[in-house]
Chain A
Amino acid sequence: MPPLPRTDPVELDPHPHPRTAVREPEYGFPRGLWAAMARRRPPGPPFSPRTWRSPLRGPWITSVFGAILLVGMPIIIITGLLSYIAYGPQFGQALPADVGGLRLPLFDWPTRPSWLFRLNQGLHVVLGLVLIPVVLAKLWSVVPKLFTWPPARSLAHLLERISLALLVGGVLFEIVTGVLNIQYDYIFGFSFYTAHYWGAWVFIAGFVVHVALKLPTMIRSLRSRSLRAELRTPLATTVPEPPDTHGLVAEHPAEPTLSRRGLLALVGGGVVLMAVMTAGQTIGDAVRASALLAPRSRSYGQGPNDFQINRTAETAEITPTVVAGWTLTLTGGRQPLVLSRQDLLGMPQHTAQLPIACVEGWSTTQTWSGVRLRDLAARAGVPTPANAFVQSLERDGAFNQATLQANQVLDPDSLLALRVNGADLSLDHGFPARVIVPALPGVHNTKWVSSIDLRSA
């Protein structure tokens, strides 16, 4: 058989042998440099094409993982950016405080539906965790390109590879910092909020440009094979994808030990495993224990105060002595108003079933009762405050104070809670009184409240 001309585009090649027909790379400026590097390929792995032998690598399988991430990643990005708004950047209490133009447009975080923050953080954290196997599979599928030789063929190729470093570095950095943070492992020694926020923007930059440049390739590659046919192809008839120009398909493929559907099932199994291990801590107390490895999968018991604690009284140095003789001070009216717990219990009591959700992605719904914040505002003489500044008895701690928006003070279910599930709050849950506001980030539901300043515009 005569050798095929090397310039034949692969699409027209009827010849099943690998590579002979794949187009020689064309070099851009500076041509001499790239060509000289190409001639000096370091011997052996990982730069030799013989290193990469998986018969399953190819544009189709990469595009399947890419398509899943293309749906999932924007949800993680948007819930993350929404979380920043939920913390109230207008009061300087979202971290990092100065973000220039890199945030969503400001708006007052709503109080309805009451599970809004719970859903937002549950999606952000659980989706972030369950997509880890897909990210790892995607990186596995393209790893030969990391060691492609020459390292670049043109300025375009070089710049694109730099953007890929932002993309891959960004996604791995976000996974690592997020995974450590939900497990309270602050080994990195920098502020999680700062790191995760700026890491996210670097990732977003890499992600958006990668989608812009690769979307046509992804669509074309997805169309190159039928998913339905792949799902019916067993190991015995699994063959590599046809030679490609992307450098993904192995030039010297090994015999397959797994079908393409087997690989998809493996990655899918990883996704399910991660979901089972984590979703329970955000779905609720009934299934909490199923999330065996999640940090917030544990039960405290069956009592009215036996639910997840985010900062113990001991840590906050709140003891029975500290709260003895407690009073609440309301300021902002013509003169400060001081109320005892007895005074508060004498006011109209309201009961609301509200979730409390942590930025770390766990939540729990309890039945809280106490005095409506708007009743307290009226009592203080500021019935329509612009915002309210709540302070805790706790002396140290990043969350011993919080500012609430007007809608968060005035919502009919926003409470200064005195009791939970029919019993007095425990010291760990904020006795003598704590704030509970629908859809508010958990840590802004201040515990051990000492004063509320009702501020007019």
Chain B
Amino acid sequence: MATMISGVLAGWRRFYGENPLHLLALLGCFALAGYAVSFAVQAPTPIQLGIWFVGAVIGHDLVLYPLYALADRSLLAGRRARRRRHARPSRVPATNYVRVPVLGSVLLLLVFLPVIIRQGEAAYEAASGLTMEPYLERWLLITGAMFLLSAVLYALRRVRSE
């Protein structure tokens, strides 16, 4: 009996690729998501919801991710170019002193883009009675401060390594 069950299970595994519980869990997942979607399609603009859902994935995986990967590759290409000119690698590579403030700045820009570019200002003003005027300047100042701090730390590291 036990060998029969394990034989059936092995056969199932060869056919499906995982044990039966794997399929059960996924069917539960699709049932729940499908039930939620059955409500969402009753919204006034279901197509738009779908476009934003798919667009969020494409926007991250196929637009933003390649952009930041390419930016990082070009930073590293600069590092290799320097290597070719100088026999000895830099004692304090600058790479991460550029990466960190750039990533910090881009993160804030991505998240706070609406207030920075004043998109949706009318609704904000109707709610709060304020304009979005200061945010671009604030973001630029924070960005500047992060680069400055990074530059100071880099300089200190270089001095200490002399």
CB distance from B108 to the nearest CB of A (A): 6
Cβ of A258 < 8 Å from any Cβ of B?
Answer: yes
Cβ of A191 < 8 Å from any Cβ of B?
Answer: yes
B107 touches which one: A98, A133, A160, A198 (CB < 8 A)?
A133
Contacts of A437 in B (CB 8 A): none
Tier of interface size on chain B: 35 or more
Task: Please tell me if the beta carbons of B53 and A169 are within 8 angstroms of each other in the complex.
Answer: yes
Cβ of B60 < 8 Å from any Cβ of A?
Answer: yes
**Bound Cα distance from A209 to B28, whole angstroms:** 8
Task: Please tell me if the beta carbons of B65 and A293 are within 8 angstroms of each other in the complex.
Answer: no
Contacts of A153 in B (CB 8 A): 17
**Smallest CB-CB separation from A267: which chain B residue?**
B103
Contacts of A254 in B (CB 8 A): 76
Contacts of A170 in B (CB 8 A): 53
Task: Please tell me if the beta carbons of B104 and A194 are within 8 angstroms of each other in the complex.
Answer: no
Cβ of A124 < 8 Å from any Cβ of B?
Answer: no
**Bound Cα distance from A132 to B108, whole angstroms:** 11
Task: Please tell me if the beta carbons of B129 and A312 are within 8 angstroms of each other in the complex.
Answer: yes
**Smallest CB-CB separation from A191: which chain B residue?**
B43
Task: Please tell me if the beta carbons of A186 and B120 are within 8 angstroms of each other in the complex.
Answer: yes
Cβ of B56 < 8 Å from any Cβ of A?
Answer: yes
**Bound Cα distance from A98 to B126, whole angstroms:** 29
Task: Please tell me if the beta carbons of B120 and A183 are within 8 angstroms of each other in the complex.
Answer: yes
Task: Please tell me if the beta carbons of A190 and B115 are within 8 angstroms of each other in the complex.
Answer: no
Task: Please tell me if the beta carbons of B56 and A169 are within 8 angstroms of each other in the complex.
Answer: yes
Cβ of A168 < 8 Å from any Cβ of B?
Answer: yes
Contacts of B30 in A (CB 8 A): 159, 162-163, 205
Interface residues of B: mostly helix, strand, loop or mixed?
A: helix
**Bound Cα distance from A315 to B122, whole angstroms:** 11
Task: Please tell me if the beta carbons of B112 and A183 are within 8 angstroms of each other in the complex.
Answer: yes
A 77-120 binary contact with B (CB < 8 Å = 1; else 0): 00000000000000000001011101000000000000000000
CB distance from A418 to the nearest CB of B (A): 22
Contacts of A208 in B (CB 8 A): 29, 32
**Smallest CB-CB separation from A166: which chain B residue?**
B33
Task: Please tell me if the beta carbons of A296 and B17 are within 8 angstroms of each other in the complex.
Answer: no
Contacts of B65 in A (CB 8 A): 139-140, 143
Task: Please tell me if the beta carbons of A183 and B114 are within 8 angstroms of each other in the complex.
Answer: yes
Task: Please tell me if the beta carbons of B49 and A195 are within 8 angstroms of each other in the complex.
Answer: yes
Task: Please tell me if the beta carbons of A184 and B114 are within 8 angstroms of each other in the complex.
Answer: yes
Task: Please tell me if the beta carbons of B111 and A179 are within 8 angstroms of each other in the complex.
Answer: yes
**Smallest CB-CB separation from B29: which chain A residue?**
A209
A 114-136 binary contact with B (CB < 8 Å = 1; else 0): 00000000000000010011001
**Bound Cα distance from A259 to B29, whole angstroms:** 37
Cβ of A298 < 8 Å from any Cβ of B?
Answer: yes
Contacts of B57 in A (CB 8 A): 165, 168-169, 172
A173 touches which one: B16, B56, B100, B123 (CB < 8 A)?
B56
**Smallest CB-CB separation from A171: which chain B residue?**
B56
Cβ of B3 < 8 Å from any Cβ of A?
Answer: no
Contacts of B26 in A (CB 8 A): 159-160, 162-163, 209
Contacts of A309 in B (CB 8 A): 127-129
Q: Which of B14-33 contact A (CB under 8 A)?
A: 14-18, 22-23, 25-26, 28-30, 32-33
Cβ of A287 < 8 Å from any Cβ of B?
Answer: no
Task: Please tell me if the beta carbons of B108 and A273 are within 8 angstroms of each other in the complex.
Answer: yes
Contacts of B52 in A (CB 8 A): 173, 176-177, 188, 190, 195
CB distance from A70 to the nearest CB of B (A): 16
CB distance from A272 to the nearest CB of B (A): 10
Given A201-B33, A257-B76; 16 other pairs, CB 8 A cutoff: A139-B60, A154-B17, A156-B17, A159-B30, A184-B114, A185-B120, A190-B44, A198-B43, A205-B30, A205-B32, A205-B36, A208-B32, A257-B96, A298-B128, A308-B128, A312-B129
Pairs across A and B, CB under 8 Å, 13 listed: A159-B26, A179-B114, A190-B45, A195-B49, A199-B49, A201-B32, A205-B32, A208-B32, A212-B25, A258-B99, A270-B104, A293-B112, A312-B129
Instruction: List the interface of chain B (C-beta within 8 A of A).
Output: 13-18, 22-23, 25-26, 28-30, 32-33, 35-37, 39-40, 43-45, 48-49, 52-54, 56-57, 59-61, 65, 76, 79, 93, 95-96, 99-100, 103-104, 107-108, 111-112, 114-116, 119-121, 123-124, 126-130, 134-135, 138-139, 142
